[in-house]
Amino acid sequence: MKTGIAITGMCVLSSAGETVSILCEQIVSGKTIKPQIDIQVYENVINSIDTGPHELYRIQKLLLAAFLKASHMAKLSAGLVQSERIGVFLGNSYGLEGFKANFFRCYKKSDPTLTSPTLFPFTNANALASWLAIQIEAKGPNLTFVNGCTSSSEAVLAACDALAFNECEVAFVGGVNLADHDLSDEFYASGFRYESVGMLVLEKRNSVDNSKRKPLAFLQDWQSGMLTQEQLRKIK
């Protein structure tokens, strides 16, 4: 099933600066990029909403800043879309390998703390999208993909599917790449030189046209991640 998908908002934060172009220019020029994003640059953006009485983790702050900037670009004001029609899709590579290693280390020791649900693999990774949904009162689809470098691409496909099948009206698609305090030598040797956080706002094209808002681009030739019965029959 195909439908016109519009990109109405976008934000990419990296240690090289804001927007993808700055990051690409720094890489091509061979300039050294600092490993981590300066969180202080986005404190004012984060403080624009009430995040509750608890201190936010660094990764939560960065994801929230990217969401707020993308939402502002998309001109999505509060109450414009029903909560049940807002979906959150996240591609997450944040701390996964180290997290799984700690889990299996505890498992091998048969430590009683295994009773804590936070020790099970992927619990922390999934919780990030759920936390964002609570902050923005999104009650639509909520999915997290944790398949390494393809995670964000899968999140985009899932969001397009959800829009095409009318499961949501607005899809916030985020991507988190190694946003962690400890950029260890093992990760650095594997090619992770810096961290980045991104957010796309995807909507149906007809919804955007009716609202007279100007989109950034259209996804016209995206391949649905969900197979139809006819496609399944051909594969068999």
Instruction: Please give the full DSSP string across 90-110, using - where no structure is assigned.
Output: EEE-TTHHHHHHHHHHHHHHT
Looking up residue 141, the CATH number of its domain turns out to be: 3.40.47.10
Cβ atoms within 10 Å, residue 149:
10
* Contact assessment for residue 4 and residue 205, using Cβ atoms and an 8 Å cutoff: yes
Nearest-CA neighbor of 76 among 21, 137, 134, 127?
137
What's the alpha-carbon Rg for the chain, to the nearest Å? 19
What is residue 186's predicted lDDT score, i.e. its pLDDT? 64
What is residue 1's predicted lDDT score, i.e. its pLDDT? 46
pLDDT tens digits, 128-179: 788 888 888 899 999 998 877 788 889 999 999 999 899 999 999 999 886 6
- Check pLDDT > 70 for residue 121: no
Three-state DSSP at 212 gives coil
Cβ atoms within 10 Å, residue 54:
7
Report the percent of the chain where pLDDT is more than 90: 26
Overall number of domains in the chain: 1
Q: What is the pTM of this model?
A: 0.79
Cα distances (angstroms) measured from residue 174 to each of 87, 112, 156: 11, 35, 9
What is residue 134's predicted lDDT score, i.e. its pLDDT? 86
Q: What is the chain's mean pLDDT, rounded?
A: 79
Range in 39-43, 83-87, 102-106, 157-161 with the lowest mean pLDDT: 102-106
Gap between the Cα atoms of 184 and 192, Å rounded: 9
Q: Which domain holds residue 200?
A: 5-235
